[in-house]
Amino acid sequence: MLEKDIEKSLYSREEIAVKTKELGQQITKDYAGKNPLVIGILKGAIPFMADLIREMDMQLEMDFMDVSSYGEALVSSGEVKIIKDLDTNVAGRDLLIVEDIIDSGQTLKYLVELFKYRQAKSVKIVTLLDKPEGRVVDIYPDYSGFNVPNEFVVGFGLDYKENYRNLPFVGVLKPEIYETNN
């Protein structure tokens, strides 16, 4: 039903699962003995984060933040707004921010600066997808699943007008979907 709106698949659920396991194992090694606070950025990070933490064989805590820069537009406005803040005090904590995608980099640039200001001990980023061509600010993930081409991708947390987040793989939407729905 959802798949009929997809032009092509970029990363299958199997490829994502393999990559997530690799990332989880690497992170488990790197954070040995640390009890990191794993911070999911709502809403896109949810499916990837749910899978990733189950590949992290260690003590960890979870928290969430809702920050939005896109609204319903296809291109980032550059404006970052806190919709829901963390419940946890990050001072002295090792933070691992989880994202579905880094595009312009503005969301993460803002968050990394905010968490440093709040005196986090360390701040690292793990993202399922990275779109380096979209970057307008200098920010790089510490852990990244796949580099995506400069196309509008959906699935595995990524939305078009809040839909398609539950697609179990990452794909490119058929152009007629956003041409007719605008």
What is the binding site for Mn ion (CB under 5 A)?
44
Please identify, using beta-carbon distances, which residue of 50 and 58 lies nearer to ligand PRP. Answer: 50
In the complex, residue closest to ligand PRP by CB: 44
Please identify, using beta-carbon distances, which residue of 65 and 90 lies nearer to Mn ion. Answer: 65
User: What are the φ/ψ torsions at residue 112 (nearest 5 degrees)?
Assistant: -60, -45
CB of residue 86 vs Mg ion: minimum separation in angstroms? 20
Q: Which of 23, 39, 41, 173 binds ligand PRP (CB under 6 A)?
A: 41
Task: Give the sheet arrangement for strand 153-154, strand by strand.
Answer: 6-11, 170-173, 153-154
CB of residue 75 vs Mn ion: minimum separation in angstroms? 14
The residue type of 178 is Y
Please identify, using beta-carbon distances, which residue of 118 and 135 lies nearer to Mg ion. Answer: 135
Please identify, using beta-carbon distances, which residue of 44 and 145 lies nearer to Mn ion. Answer: 44
Determine the 3-state secondary structure of 111 from DSSP: helix
Q: Any catalytic annotation for residue 103? A: yes
Residue 125's binding partner among Mg ion, Mn ion, ligand PRP, none (Cβ under 5 to 8 angstroms by kind) is: none
End-to-end CA distance of the chain: 21
Count of residues interacting with ligand PRP (CB under 6 A): 18
In the chain, what are the helix, strand and coil shares in percent, each to the nearest 5?
Answer: 30, 30, 40
- From residue 61 to residue 100, what is the string marking binding to ligand PRP with x (rule CB under 6 A)? -------xxx-----x----------------------xx
User: What are the φ/ψ torsions at residue 107 (nearest 5 degrees)?
Assistant: -60, -50
Measured distance CA(7)–CA(169) in Å, rounded: 13
- The DSSP secondary structure of 128-182, one letter per residue, reads EEE-GGG-SS----SEEEEEPPSS-EEBTTB-BTTBSTT-SSEEEEPHHHHHHH-
Residue 76's binding partner among Mn ion, Mg ion, ligand PRP, none (Cβ under 5 to 8 angstroms by kind) is: ligand PRP
Catalytic annotation, pick one of 94, 100, 103, 130:
103
Task: Write out the catalytic residue numbers.
Answer: 103
